[in-house]
Amino acid sequence: MKKWLQIIACTLFACMMTAGSALAKDKIVVGFSQIGAESAWRVANTDSIVSEAKSRPHIELKFSDAQQKQENQIKAIRSFISQGVDVIAFSPVVETGWEPVLKEAKRAKIPVILSDRAVDVQDDTLWVTFMGSDFVEEGRRAGNWLMENYDRLKNPDKSSDVVNVVELQGTVGSAPAIDRKDGFAEVTKGSAFKIIKSQSGDFTRAKGKEVMEAFLKSEGKKIDVLYAHNDDMALGAIQAIEEYGLNPGKDIIIVSIDAVRGAFEAMVEGKINCTVECSPLLGPQLFDAVEDLMAGKELPKRIVTNEGVFPAETAAETLPTRKY
């Protein structure tokens, strides 16, 4: 009798194990480590990833928010490795310092997809593909728009030959801050546009306001242009400019990057002059890549997002169609 019971128990256990592994195979488990919720862009990016995962029944998403700290991202990735997820994707808050954890993922044979931001590692076999925008190009677009439109907006009599620009940089050490700075500097090099102050506002509205207040305190009416690495910092800076008694978009020309809804609203009010698009809607292409990868297809090393430039004159018409 005892023996029979044992046989039944063993058979049951074996059945459960097979069913369990079949179930596990049914779903592709993806661990995603997000930076945080520092900007409207980031919130839209999270929405895109979470809602796309929900719409694909065979995807199981494990989502982790790092509250803008690299150490939290590293912890999350380690926990994805120990849970044995099928794919790890993440948006690295800064470029450097990822080698050890990426090597651990490689040793565990878990492919890694970089979403939105790149990493700076010697060995590019540590990640499979990098999808997202060309941030250097965004910086160039902001600079080019400024050089083509500044005289029309603020210098119609061509009386001044030096234009004083202040720059609000993104998070120190992050790919978009480094690249957007470089792209803008590259196209404005040797021109009338001179950066007189440049500091990080950490991609947030509150910091953008605080740093703009400091710029105004030291440079005052000398400031002709604000170049902000994202719209949230530009929106914070607008408040600082108004509190200082100047007109954003008129006394100080403002060009920023992201093209989120809040920037379109500010453009309609004449407070931002141009925003360069950076799309956060990466969910669909992320999970397409995950599925291709699991189906054994080879992915391109770089997947670039298609984006445009929106001057204030087009804002009212475009605003209703914006998805983020």
Contact positions toward ligand GYE, by CB under 6 A? 38-39, 41-42, 116-117, 176, 203, 230, 232, 257-258, 278
Closest distance between ligand GYE and the C-beta of residue 139, in Å?
11
* Closer Cβ to ligand GYE, 56 or 205, answer by number: 205
Q: Judging by DSSP bridges, how do beta strands 309-311 and 274-277 pair with one another?
A: antiparallel
In DSSP notation, 75-93 reads HHHHHHHHHT-SEEEE--S
Q: Tell me the closest approach of the beta carbon of residue 41 to ligand GYE, in angstroms.
A: 3
Question: Judged by CB, which is closer to ligand GYE: 52, or 277?
Answer: 277
Residue 176 or 283: which CB sits closer to ligand GYE? 176
Token pair of 121, please? 């590692």
CA–CA distance from 166 to each of 59, 84, 169, 196, 212 (Å)? Answer: 45, 47, 10, 6, 9
Beta carbon of residue 68, minimum distance to ligand GYE (angstroms, whole number): 9
- Identity of the residue, 117 or 271, whose beta carbon is nearer to ligand GYE in the bound complex: 117
Q: Report the run of H or E that residue 73 belongs to, with start and end.
A: helix 70-83
User: 205 with 230: CB under 8 angstroms?
Assistant: no
Q: How far is the CB of 93 from ligand GYE (least distance, A)?
A: 9
Distance CA 237, CA 210 (A): 8
| Tokens coding 231 | 């719209």
28/257 with CB nearer ligand GYE: 257
Q: Which is nearer to ligand GYE, 37 or 192 (CB)?
A: 37
Closer residue to ligand GYE, CB minimum distance, 251 or 324: 324
CB of residue 267 vs ligand GYE: minimum separation in angstroms? 17
Classify residue 9 by burial, with Cβ atoms within 10 Å: 0-12, 13-18, 19+: exposed
| Least separation in angstroms between CB 220 and ligand GYE | 28
| Shortest Å, Cβ 262 to ligand GYE | 11
DSSP SS3 for 286: helix
Burial of 29 (0-12, 13-18, 19+ CB in 10 A): middle
The residue to which tokens 């004449």 are assigned: 270
Contacts of 145 (CB under 8 A, 6+ apart): 255, 274, 276, 309, 311
